[in-house]
């Protein structure tokens, strides 16, 4: 057989589903490694913001540490030491809870 005929022979067509399988696999890995932890973190943050109570020591996104004096809707009144300055901040500005009133009572 001449070399030209061998080179021109077509290979059988591959299954088109098999060509998309690596792409589907990569998307699935990306979803499990990126989106699921992000959703879990959003749920934890939303639950933490919903469970804020007066007396909890919190840190804002700006790094201010203070104690919640009162909560009215989406606004918090925070007391910041050493001069007991009161700040009004949005509930969504709280990045983490350092200590809650219940945790302080358990220590005593």
* Maximum separation of any 2 CA atoms in the chain, in Å: 96
CB 42 within 8 A of CB 78: no
Total domains in the fold of the chain: 2
Q: Please check whether residues 59 and 97 belong to one and the same domain.
A: yes
Domain of residue 45 covers 16-50
Q: Please check whether residues 41 and 62 belong to one and the same domain.
A: no
In a domain, 57, yes or no: yes
> Of 31, 50, 69, which closes a domain?
50
Residue whose token pair is 């998307």: 27
What's the predicted TM-score (pTM) here?
0.66
User: What's the pLDDT tens digit per position in 22-73?
Assistant: 899 999 999 999 999 999 999 999 999 999 999 999 999 999 999 999 999 9
User: In Å, how far from its chain's centre is CA 62?
Assistant: 18
Q: Which residues of 21-35 are buried (b: 16+ CB within 10 A; e: fewer)?
A: eeeeeeeeeeeeeee
Q: Please check whether residues 57 and 102 belong to one and the same domain.
A: yes
Q: Please check whether residues 40 and 86 belong to one and the same domain.
A: no
**Confidence check: pLDDT of 103 > 70:** no
Report the share of the chain in percent with pLDDT over 90: 69
Q: Please check whether residues 58 and 103 belong to one and the same domain.
A: yes
């Amino acid at each position: 057989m001449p070399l030209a005929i061998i080179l021109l022979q077509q290979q059988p067509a591959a299954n088109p589903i098999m060509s998309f399988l690596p792409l589907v696999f990569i998307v699935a890995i990306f979803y499990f490694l990126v989106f699921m932890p992000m959703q879990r973190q959003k749920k934890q943050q939303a639950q933490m913001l919903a469970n804020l109570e007066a007396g909890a020591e919190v840190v804002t996104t700006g790094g201010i540490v203070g104690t919640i004096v009162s909560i009215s809707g989406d606004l918090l009144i925070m007391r910041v030491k050493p001069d007991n300055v009161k700040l009004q901040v949005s509930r969504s500005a709280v990045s983490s809870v350092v200590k809650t009133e219940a945790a302080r009572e358990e220590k005593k």
